[in-house]
A and B are shown apart, each in its own frame.
Chain A
Amino acid sequence: MAENRARGPEVIFAGTNGGAVTELADYEAAGGLTALRRALTMTPDELIAELNTSGLRGRGGAFFPTGRKWSFVPKLDQIAKPHYLVVNADESEPGTFKDREILLRVPFRFLEGCLIAARGIESTNVFVYIRGEYEREFEVLVHALEQLRERDLLGGVTIVVHRGAGAYICGEETALLESLEGKRGQPRTKPPFPAIAGLYAAPTAVNNVESIATVPPILELGGAEYAKLGVENSTGTRVFSLSGNVARPGNHELPHGFPLRELIYDVGGGVPGGRKLKAVIPGGSSTPILTAAEVEQVTLDFDSITAAGSAIGSAAVIAIDDRACMVQLAIRVSQFYEHESCGKCTPCRVGTRWLTQILQKLEDGRGAYTDLDLLLDVGERINGTCLCPLGDSDAIAVASYVAKFRAEFLAHVEEGGCPFHGASSLEGILAPSDVPAAHGPAEIARPLEVVA
């Protein structure tokens, strides 16, 4: 295994020497497909046991144990429908760009993982749902798949790469299944869960790209050996997507438990221009923000980040320097969830819009002290009331900005507008241009009465 600048072994990107392995011969020469050969000698239950031993937990954001997820899929003799493996490559959470690099640099490791995972759930049908914006990634993946097919290495498994068409909501697993069935991508009521009635109402496991790409190295190392990497409850490595105000943004595969401050200041080269770190979003835009002081205490694993009141999410770390206005940050995050709300559940469809409008009111100097409570109140009426957590993500993120940077929110009321006076790094933030003009920052009409 290649050492990642003495910070621990790379597992997913092992054997790439910083580059890409897109030809099958190169992958095999570097020991590729040995995990698949081992898997073919194992029963599905043995594969699941190995995954459980490894402690692998889902890398898409929910951190659910992968082996357990597979174990929920009934055996073929229990439900005699075709079983499906669906891989979620709809990476769209702001800040997250790891799956893209995995697909570009280790497409064979990913496909090998698909074949092993399919065996784990007794499936011969794999669908990879890749976001439509990832055109080059799609081509690299299809090129790799064709090579496996030509060499007859798929072992009777069909793998279809299905392109999305621009909808963050399709990263939610039931919305993804709807979309894959050719419908609008709107989440389903659960239960039934996908393990029982997923794609085409048949037993289905939905796994993230990084989870699947981690399966071959687990079989190569053995689950117990893999579990020695990382820390308790967060075994193994993780591809952290580092972005924002750091000198060296990019993807970094590091063991779980790596100190957040070292990721930002050492691996990432710190905040450029002699500026100060103000805050960090540790796991994608859905996760609560951490202050610069909190960053000092946190390690990059489930337990540590959870104890700090946030979440490891998709491991997308966004560094924010002291030039950023937190109300503007909140507006742009809220605009995102408003834009991506599928519209099925009223609290999300309406609430995300209200959050944006209240925030815009504060930014424009039309806010009142009560608007801070109003933000939290609207958020509380979204949380837990919808079929999926999209609206909750907006509410939780915004509530964390208000809680951690309350003085700055209050200053917007006290000073009758933005205390940055046009000097914020986020000044002039732009919503997506397909939002209708009528959807602008109009005054909202007495939202509390409407809700009550």
Chain B
Amino acid sequence: MSTGLYDEIQKLRAEYPDERSAVMPALQLAQAEHGGWLPEEAFREVADALDTTPAYCHSIASFYDMFRLEPVGAFQLEVCTNISCALRGAQGVVDALVDELGISVGETTEDGAFTLRTVECLGGCGWATVVAVNNRHRLNVSAADVPTLVRELRHG
């Protein structure tokens, strides 16, 4: 483990009366360090830094949607498909992304650039459809915006 991660986790630990409270924020740090997902090694690192077990860390990660237990693309595209977005065309946005990326929902492109997921309400219902790109929310996205969005991400 990088000493950086260990030290960052110790700082988190000091914020709480009980070190267990630092497990979630520590997993978030570890996930960022490991390219957006949590390999087994990450659970060992967090467990070592917080005097708990990898199994305990895994039990936490598996409960929460934002912890990824499999490799992800460089850009994680998450489309809200809950009712407010669905009423305003989220299905069309997903279809356009499937077409543009050539993958099914839940998959990662072969070049490892994009992972496409559908997710529950992202809390942007007044700005439907909401698409999260690595947790940054794009608002008012329509199917017609998709080719430009993907091109922009591909070519920086």
For A143-167 the 0/1 string (1 means CB < 8 A from B) is 0000000000000000010111111
Chain B 89-136 residues near chain A, CB threshold 8 A: 90-91, 94-95, 105-106, 116-128, 132, 135-136
Q: Are B91 and A429 in contact (CB under 8 A)?
A: yes
Chain B interfacial residues counted at CB < 8 A: 51
- A237 lies within 8 A of chain B by Cβ: no
CA of A333 to CA of B28 in the docked complex: distance in angstroms? 29
The interface of chain B, by Cβ under 8 A from chain A, is: 15-25, 27-28, 59-60, 63-67, 79, 81-84, 86-88, 90-91, 94-95, 105-106, 116-128, 132, 135-137
Chain B residues near A332: list those with CB within 8 A.
81-83, 86
* Dominant secondary structure of chain A at its interface with chain B: loop
CA of A97 to CA of B114 in the docked complex: distance in angstroms? 27
What's the minimum C-beta distance from A130 to chain B, rounded to whole angstroms? 11
With beta carbons under 8 angstroms apart, the residue of B125, B136, B137 that contacts A96 is B125
CA of A133 to CA of B100 in the docked complex: distance in angstroms? 25
For A402-433 the 0/1 string (1 means CB < 8 A from B) is 00000000000000000000000111111111
With beta carbons under 8 angstroms apart, the residue of B16, B84, B118, B128 that contacts A433 is B118
With beta carbons under 8 angstroms apart, the residue of B21, B125, B127 that contacts A94 is B125
Q: Are A183 and B20 in contact (CB under 8 A)?
A: yes
Chain B residues near A285: list those with CB within 8 A.
82-83
* Dominant secondary structure of chain B at its interface with chain A: mixed
Q: Are B123 and A164 in contact (CB under 8 A)?
A: no
CA of A96 to CA of B121 in the docked complex: distance in angstroms? 9
For A128-143 the 0/1 string (1 means CB < 8 A from B) is 0001111110000000
Cβ-closest 8 pairs across A and B: A166-B65, A182-B20, A165-B64, A243-B125, A166-B66, A243-B84, A249-B126, A433-B106
Q: Given A97-B125, A340-B120, are A133 and B15 also a contact pair (CB < 8 Å)?
A: no
What's the minimum C-beta distance from B73 to chain A, rounded to whole angstroms? 13
Q: Are A181 and B84 in contact (CB under 8 A)?
A: no
Q: Are A163 and B25 in contact (CB under 8 A)?
A: yes
CA of A133 to CA of B135 in the docked complex: distance in angstroms? 6
Q: Are A244 and B83 in contact (CB under 8 A)?
A: yes
What's the minimum C-beta distance from A336 to chain B, rounded to whole angstroms? 6
- A324 lies within 8 A of chain B by Cβ: yes
Q: Are A245 and B88 in contact (CB under 8 A)?
A: yes
- A251 lies within 8 A of chain B by Cβ: yes
Q: Given A163-B25, A166-B65, A180-B21, are A333 and B121 also a contact pair (CB < 8 Å)?
A: no
Chain A interfacial residues counted at CB < 8 A: 64
What's the minimum C-beta distance from A337 to chain B, rounded to whole angstroms? 10
Chain B residues near A93: list those with CB within 8 A.
121
For A39-82 the 0/1 string (1 means CB < 8 A from B) is 00000000000000000000000000000000000000000001
CA of A132 to CA of B67 in the docked complex: distance in angstroms? 10
For A298-323 the 0/1 string (1 means CB < 8 A from B) is 00000000000000000010101100
What's the minimum C-beta distance from A164 to chain B, rounded to whole angstroms? 7
For A170-194 the 0/1 string (1 means CB < 8 A from B) is 0000000001111111000000000
- Residue among B18, B19, B64 with max Cβ neighbours from chain A (10 Å): B64
Interface pairs (19), CB distance under 8 Å: A97-B127, A132-B64, A136-B137, A165-B27, A165-B28, A165-B64, A167-B63, A167-B65, A168-B121, A182-B60, A241-B126, A243-B125, A244-B88, A245-B87, A318-B125, A321-B87, A333-B83, A432-B81, A432-B119
Chain A 16-36 residues near chain B, CB threshold 8 A: none
Q: Are B123 and A100 in contact (CB under 8 A)?
A: yes
Q: Are A94 and B16 in contact (CB under 8 A)?
A: no
Chain A residues near B105: list those with CB within 8 A.
430, 433
Q: Given A179-B24, A336-B121, are A430 and B90 also a contact pair (CB < 8 Å)?
A: yes
